[in-house]
A = this chain, B = another copy of it.
Amino acid sequence: MINNCISLPPKALVANWETLTRTFIRPESEEAKETLIKYMEQILFGLQEFLREHVGITEEKSLKELAELFSDASLPLVPEKMLAEVITDLVQDIAPHAVNVASPYFVGHMTAAIPFFMVHLKTITAALNQNVVKLETSKVVSILEKQLLAKIHRLVYQQSKGFYDTHVQNTETALGCFTEDGTIANITALWVARNRLFGPKPGFEGIEKEGVVAAYKAYDIDRSVVLVSCLAHYSLQKAGGILGIGNKNVVAIDVDSNYRLDMDHLRRTLGSLRSEGRTKIVAIVGLAGATETGTIDPLREIADICLEQDIHFHADGAWGGPTLLSGKYKHLLDGIQYADSVTIDGHKQFYMPMGCGMVYFKEPTALDAIAYHSRYINRPGSVDLGIKSLSGSREANSLILDSALKIMGTNGYGLLIEHSIQVAREFAEEIQSRPDFELTSPQVLNILTYRFFPKALKQRLKKEDDKGKKRLYEGLNDINITIQRNQREAGNSFVSRTTLKGTEDWPEDRVVLRVVIMNPMTDIDILREILDEQENIYRQEKRK
Within the complex, the shortest CB–CB distance from A253 to chain B, in Å, comes to 17
For A4-42 the 0/1 string (1 means CB < 8 A from B) is: 000000000111110011011111000001001101110
Contact yes or no, A246 B184, CB < 8 A:
no
Q: For residue A180, which residues in chain B have a CB less than 8 angstroms away from its CB?
A: 179-180, 184, 355, 391, 393-394
Min CB distance, A50 to chain B, in Å? 7
A382 to chain B, nearest CB (A): 10
Chain B hits for A97, CB < 8 A: 139-140
A46 to B24 CA separation, bound complex (whole angstroms): 11
Which of the residues B15, B73, B245, B391 comes within 8 Å of A411, measured between beta carbons?
Answer: B15
Question: With an 8 A cutoff between CB atoms, is A482 at the interface?
Answer: no
Q: Specify how many copies of this chain sit in the oligomer.
A: 2
Whether A375 is near chain B, meaning CB under 8 Å from some CB there, is yes
Q: Closest CB-CB distance, A410 to chain B, in whole Å?
A: 5
Distance in Å: Cβ of A302 to nearest Cβ of chain B:
23
Interface locus among A120-128, A261-269, A464-472: A120-128
> Contact check: which of B130, B136, B246, B372 meets A494 at CB < 8 Å?
B136
Are B86 and A407 touching (Cβ within 8 A)?
Answer: yes
- Most chain B Cβ neighbours within 10 Å, of A98, A102, A150, A419: A98
Residues of B within 8 A of A506 (CB): none
From B43, B99, B127, B405, A130 is in contact (CB under 8 Å) with: B99
User: Do residues B246 and A143 form an inter-chain contact, with CB atoms below 8 A?
Assistant: no
Q: Is the CB of A395 within 8 A of B169?
A: no
Closest chain B CB from A507 CB (angstroms): 17
B214 and A15 form a contact (CB under 8 A): no
Q: Contact check: which of B168, B370, B372 meets A71 at CB < 8 Å?
A: B168
A390 CB–B CB distance under 8 Å: yes
The contact sample of 7 A-B pairs, CB cut-off 8 A, is A44-B123, A73-B151, A76-B409, A91-B124, A111-B129, A238-B372, A354-B394
Within the assembled complex, what's the spacing in Å between the Cα atoms of A401 and B85?
15
Give chain B residues whose Cβ lies under 8 Å from the Cβ of A187.
242, 390
The answer to whether the Cβ of A183 comes within 8 Å of any Cβ in the partner chain is yes
A124 surroundings in chain B (CB, below 8 A): 39, 43, 87, 90-91
Interface flags for A485-511 (1: CB within 8 Å of B; 0: not) read 000100000101111000000000000
A216 part of interface (Cβ distance < 8 Å): yes
User: Do A407 and B520 have beta carbons less than 8 Å apart?
Assistant: no
B94 touches A111 (CB 8 A): no
Selecting from A202-210, A424-432, A452-460, A524-532, the interface stretch reads: A202-210
Contact A212 to B213, CB < 8 A, known contacts A131-B111, A355-B391: yes
Contact of A99 among B126, B137, B223, B347 (CB under 8 A): B137
A222 near B213 (CB under 8 angstroms)?
yes
Residues of B within 8 A of A410 (CB): 75-77
